[in-house]
Chain A
Amino acid sequence: MSKDIKIKKGLTIKLKGEAEKTISSAPRSRTFSIKPSDFHLIIPKMVLREGDKFQAGDTIFYSKSNESIKFVSPVSGTLTKIERGAKRVITNLLIEADTQDTYKDFGVLNPESSSADAIKARLLESGCWPFIMQRPYAVIANTEQEPEAIYVSANTTAPLANDVDFSLNGKEKELQAAVTALSKLTKGQLHVGVGKSGSSPFKGLKDITLHTVSGPHPAGNVGTLINKIQPVNKGEVVWTVAPQDLVIIGELLLTGKFNAERTVALSGSEVKAPKYYKTKIGSEVSTFLYDSGLNSENVRVISGDVLTGAKISPKGHLGYYSNTVTVIPEGDDYELFGWNKPVFDKISTSRALTFSWLMPNKVYDLDTNTNGEHRAFVMTGIYEEVFPLDMYPLQMLKACMVKDLDQMEAMGMYEVAPEDFALTEFVCVSKQPHQQIIRNGLDIMYKEIG
């Protein structure tokens, strides 16, 4: 069954430095890192201690609030350091990798013939559960609640993001195993959104409901897909899984190994030869950054895409969920009369002496400058133009800022994740941190209601 979804509101940001469609193998990283901050609201309870040796797939820590949610190592090696921040919160786990990976064997599980319980148990013990996110609250899925439906968006619309049509090409077997397994865990359907053009590896898979999604970004956001198919109601839960994580789940079921391999898109205007690299979750980004080469020293390295990714240092590590690394210029410089002179080389949604509307196909080289100072909300109507979900973004943000839980609930807070507000943040004239505001709002709701 295939359905067409057309998105009208939105904005496709065209940036310089799209990754060339060739895959190289990144040299093996010497160290790996797992940042507990990648797993929102999870408090790690350590299983291993500094100096312990382990195989790929061995549990490193589990969630303090739910012991069954385990987090496993992407490689075999030694836990060299547990870095802690304020109040002894664990900020980083540093792993020194063996030269060759040895895998813990979880055993093969046939998704066709296995029961939902067996699949769930396998996902939990193998550390694949954290790949399953839930809405409301945009956190790792609750193990107790059965989802109404599961959503996967395999349509790439975010700027310079990993084109999963390309990077997951040839992984049909793994994807099929994963979707077959996951479709047993929901009372509803497993919806997959794919782009209109291109040959998605999801086309032709069974046990899924395929939707063709077209339109500007955020057509590829899973939140947009949910909102257009069946928005989350109060009391309901839906799951979302990223397509690249399905591959890891699929491989685990088929081979019994937790293979944390990722095909990462290295993109951005500061990368000399942007292309795709095969690497592993948590590896040093420098292993492929310096293979491709950077144009300058003063750069922002982002684990993820420019709208939702996390800032990391050039010596940092790939985030747990990232399949894109973007490098753009730092914008930490002053610009003479930057606020009133005509602008041709930056993107604008207005025409206030800005001329990006004249050149809809131009690719831009944007830096990290905020292009102005933080202000109170003033302009109205600009967020709606890039926000396809059926709700009022400005009013939602204000409700979050004043912590009005009733209003947040009524306006549809259960349906959103911070990433849905990435575009409104991008176009914000007042330079407000929309995603942070929504994250804080969700956290308060989770604490008070969830």
Chain B
Amino acid sequence: MGLKQNLHKLKEKYRGTKMAPAFNALHTFLYMPNETTHSGSHVRVVDDLKRTMNTVIMALVPCLIFGIFNAGYQHYAAIDGTLRLDPFANFFTWDNFALGALKVLPLVIISYGVGLLIEFIFAIINKHEVEEGYLVTGMLVPLIVPIDIPLWMLTVAVIFGVVIGKEVFGGTGMNILNPALTIRAFLFFAYPTWMSGDKVWVHGAKEMTGQPDAISGETILGSLAQNQEPIYSIWDSFWGFIPGSVGETSTFLILLGAAFLIYTKIGSWRIMLSAVIGALAMGLIFNGVVNAGWIQEGNTFYGLMSETFWHHLVIGGLAFGIVYMATDPVTGSQTNMGKWYYGFFIGFISVLIRVFNPAYPEGVMLAILLMNVFAPTIDHYVVQGNIKKRMKRLKAKTA
């Protein structure tokens, strides 16, 4: 009781001052506020934005923990290839965890620290409450960057992403592009050597380049883009024992997350399902092209085009993007009908970019950003459909 009363007194003291949003942001983390309804509906559902965002974070935690282990595992396995013979036995070890935590936790801390600091500053300047959107963004960012990314680079990118991607539009709920992907796109275009190639996905690969004990960290997509047979099996890829961005490797855990998001009704199953359909459709088209003999072995695109169509869902960041980022309600399509189109094109274009962009064989980021831009257009036509129906009714009546 004492704490509650003291905090209430403090809240009253800060009321109307510049620091009120900052204080309230911390206060509301501890206590759900004492706000009551005034007009309209006198009772409300228990769900609020904090609970919603918290649910997404819970769905991401398994990916983060796996990512920590995987960071260590990939490093040690690159040095000692025998570890890969039995990944289940050699994965969940203290060594892997210690090294991974050392590398991943700073990313999380920087992501949240810098991002939330900017959110607080903007909340104080603009005199609005600190909104919860960044809680998810801050969790997504460390999971979608390469493990060895310098912390200063991440800092710059987070500042850019939060300010240009979100705050200039008015904060959570107003942004056009997914902030986490804006941050990643910024990194990708500003520091391409740190974001692609075969040296960034495994800790230590870059520093050891040229040394006798150099290690390679080629991803499956990277190998395929160079028409090489990847060294990992599709099962490795499904369980996630492969190099890649920190949290996106385990399709299994992503599926669990997807199930959780759909069950809690927080993530849109329409977007997830249609994106999967879109990716499979494009994969089948490419397989068909190869089967028809239009693309021969030796062609630049042969490796990725001939990849069995459903493998696209398991390799690379496509699954992660579909489940956690395409479903962002703010930047995605906002009508249920529109979500089908929106999701389908994300899957479709992801695989398209993946195949035709050998320099950077990962399309899901660009596909989602592109569809973010088109989502309002899709919604516009869906709403127009309803409007046309109304016009027709009026015409039938007056005719």
Verify B42–A306 contact, CB threshold 8 A. Answer: yes
Q: Restricting to B356-376, which residues have a CB under 8 Å from any CB of A?
A: none
Contact of B32 among A231, A372, A392 (CB under 8 A): A372
Verify B264–A350 contact, CB threshold 8 A. Answer: yes
Contact of B34 among A234, A333, A350, A433 (CB under 8 A): A333
Verify B45–A378 contact, CB threshold 8 A. Answer: no
Verify B133–A336 contact, CB threshold 8 A. Answer: no
Task: Give Cα A328–Cα B270 distance, bound, in whole angstroms.
Answer: 38
Task: Give Cα A394–Cα B332 distance, bound, in whole angstroms.
Answer: 14
Verify A349–B45 contact, CB threshold 8 A. Answer: yes
- The 0/1 profile, CB within 8 Å of B marked 1, for residues 152-188 of chain A is 0000000100000000000000000000000000000
Task: Give Cα A430–Cα B133 distance, bound, in whole angstroms.
Answer: 12
Residue of chain B at shortest CB distance from A326: B42
Chain B residues near A428 (CB-CB < 8 A): 44-45
Chain A residues near B178 (CB-CB < 8 A): none
- The 0/1 profile, CB within 8 Å of B marked 1, for residues 75-110 of chain A is 000000000000000000000000000000000000
Verify A308–B41 contact, CB threshold 8 A. Answer: yes
Verify A435–B334 contact, CB threshold 8 A. Answer: no
A18 to chain B, nearest CB (A): 15
Residue of chain A at shortest CB distance from B175: A376
Contact of B42 among A307, A375, A376, A429 (CB under 8 A): A307
B171 at interface by CB-CB < 8 Å: yes
Verify A367–B49 contact, CB threshold 8 A. Answer: no
Residue of chain A at shortest CB distance from B38: A311
B15 at interface by CB-CB < 8 Å: no
B332 to chain A, nearest CB (A): 7
Contact of B173 among A231, A328, A378 (CB under 8 A): A378
B266 at interface by CB-CB < 8 Å: yes
Residue of chain A at shortest CB distance from B174: A376
Q: Restricting to A280-332, which residues have a CB under 8 Å from any CB of B?
A: 300, 302, 306-311, 326, 328, 330-332
Q: Restricting to B47-89, which residues have a CB under 8 Å from any CB of A?
A: 47-52, 54-55
Q: Identify the interface centre among A300, A395, A435: most chain B CB within 10 Å of its CB.
A: A395
A31 to chain B, nearest CB (A): 24
Chain B residues near A366 (CB-CB < 8 A): 43
The size class of the interface chain B forms with chain A is: 35 or more
Q: Restricting to A384-434, which residues have a CB under 8 Å from any CB of B?
A: 384, 390-392, 394-395, 410-412, 418, 422-423, 425-431, 433-434
Q: Which listed segment binds A: B237-245, B280-288, B387-395? A: B387-395
Verify B32–A369 contact, CB threshold 8 A. Answer: yes
Verify B47–A429 contact, CB threshold 8 A. Answer: yes
Contact of A371 among B48, B335, B387 (CB under 8 A): B48
B148 at interface by CB-CB < 8 Å: no
B300 at interface by CB-CB < 8 Å: no
B233 at interface by CB-CB < 8 Å: no
Chain A residues near B250 (CB-CB < 8 A): none
Contact of A373 among B8, B129, B173, B382 (CB under 8 A): B129
Verify B40–A434 contact, CB threshold 8 A. Answer: yes
Task: Give Cα A381–Cα B34 distance, bound, in whole angstroms.
Answer: 28
Task: Give Cα A434–Cα B391 distance, bound, in whole angstroms.
Answer: 25
A353 at interface by CB-CB < 8 Å: yes
With A351-B263, A378-B172 known to touch, is A373 a contact of B35 (CB < 8 Å)?
A: yes
Verify A351–B264 contact, CB threshold 8 A. Answer: yes
Verify B30–A336 contact, CB threshold 8 A. Answer: yes
Verify B36–A348 contact, CB threshold 8 A. Answer: no
Verify B42–A311 contact, CB threshold 8 A. Answer: yes
Verify A368–B332 contact, CB threshold 8 A. Answer: no
Chain A residues near B266 (CB-CB < 8 A): 350, 352
Task: Give Cα A231–Cα B30 distance, bound, in whole angstroms.
Answer: 47
Residue of chain B at shortest CB distance from A395: B383
Chain A residues near B35 (CB-CB < 8 A): 369-370, 373
B397 at interface by CB-CB < 8 Å: yes
Chain B residues near A351 (CB-CB < 8 A): 263-265
B39 at interface by CB-CB < 8 Å: yes
B43 to chain A, nearest CB (A): 4
Task: Give Cα A13–Cα B49 distance, bound, in whole angstroms.
Answer: 21
Chain B residues near A330 (CB-CB < 8 A): 36
Chain B residues near A394 (CB-CB < 8 A): 334
Residue of chain A at shortest CB distance from B43: A366
A212 at interface by CB-CB < 8 Å: no
Residue of chain A at shortest CB distance from B3: A336
Verify B49–A429 contact, CB threshold 8 A. Answer: yes
Verify A426–B41 contact, CB threshold 8 A. Answer: yes
Verify B36–A371 contact, CB threshold 8 A. Answer: no
Chain A residues near B393 (CB-CB < 8 A): 231, 233
Verify A384–B336 contact, CB threshold 8 A. Answer: yes
A312 to chain B, nearest CB (A): 11
Verify A380–B332 contact, CB threshold 8 A. Answer: yes
Chain B residues near A391 (CB-CB < 8 A): 386
Q: Identify the interface centre among A337, A349, A379, A428: most chain B CB within 10 Å of its CB.
A: A379
A335 at interface by CB-CB < 8 Å: yes
Chain A residues near B32 (CB-CB < 8 A): 334-339, 369, 371-372
Task: Give Cα A336–Cα B389 distance, bound, in whole angstroms.
Answer: 49
Verify A306–B41 contact, CB threshold 8 A. Answer: yes
A446 at interface by CB-CB < 8 Å: no
B249 at interface by CB-CB < 8 Å: no
Task: Give Cα A337–Cα B29 distance, bound, in whole angstroms.
Answer: 7
Verify B51–A431 contact, CB threshold 8 A. Answer: no
A124 at interface by CB-CB < 8 Å: no
Q: Identify the interface centre among B46, B55, B330, B335: most chain A CB within 10 Å of its CB.
A: B46
Verify A380–B47 contact, CB threshold 8 A. Answer: no
Verify A426–B173 contact, CB threshold 8 A. Answer: no
Task: Give Cα A269–Cα B35 distance, bound, in whole angstroms.
Answer: 20
B307 at interface by CB-CB < 8 Å: no
Chain A residues near B263 (CB-CB < 8 A): 351
Verify A426–B43 contact, CB threshold 8 A. Answer: yes
Q: Restricting to B89-145, which residues have a CB under 8 Å from any CB of A?
A: 129, 131-133
Verify A339–B50 contact, CB threshold 8 A. Answer: yes
Chain B residues near A434 (CB-CB < 8 A): 40-41
Verify B37–A368 contact, CB threshold 8 A. Answer: yes
Task: Give Cα A434–Cα B41 distance, bound, in whole angstroms.
Answer: 9
B180 to chain A, nearest CB (A): 15
Verify B173–A375 contact, CB threshold 8 A. Answer: yes
A221 at interface by CB-CB < 8 Å: no
- The 0/1 profile, CB within 8 Å of A marked 1, for residues 1-37 of chain B is 0001001100000000000000010001111111111
Verify A368–B43 contact, CB threshold 8 A. Answer: yes
Verify A347–B46 contact, CB threshold 8 A. Answer: yes
Verify B42–A378 contact, CB threshold 8 A. Answer: no
Q: Restricting to A344-365, which residues have a CB under 8 Å from any CB of B?
A: 346-354, 356
With A351-B265, A422-B41, A436-B39 known to touch, is A376 a contact of B8 (CB < 8 Å)?
A: no
- The 0/1 profile, CB within 8 Å of A marked 1, for residues 159-176 of chain B is 000000000001111100
3 residue pairs, one from A and one from B, having the closest CB atoms: A372-B48, A338-B32, A376-B173
* Chain B interface residues toward A at CB < 8 A: 4, 7-8, 24, 28-52, 54-55, 129, 131-133, 170-174, 263-266, 268, 270, 329-330, 332-336, 339, 379, 382-383, 386-387, 389-391, 393-394, 397
Could you list 21 examples of A-B contacts with CB < 8 Å? A159-B43, A233-B394, A233-B397, A300-B36, A311-B42, A334-B7, A348-B45, A349-B47, A350-B47, A350-B266, A367-B43, A370-B33, A371-B32, A372-B32, A380-B268, A380-B329, A380-B333, A380-B334, A381-B336, A411-B386, A435-B40
A233-B394, A390-B389 known; 19 other A-B pairs, CB under 8 Å? A159-B43, A335-B31, A339-B48, A340-B54, A350-B264, A351-B265, A353-B264, A369-B36, A372-B47, A374-B129, A378-B173, A379-B329, A381-B336, A382-B265, A395-B383, A422-B40, A428-B44, A428-B45, A429-B47
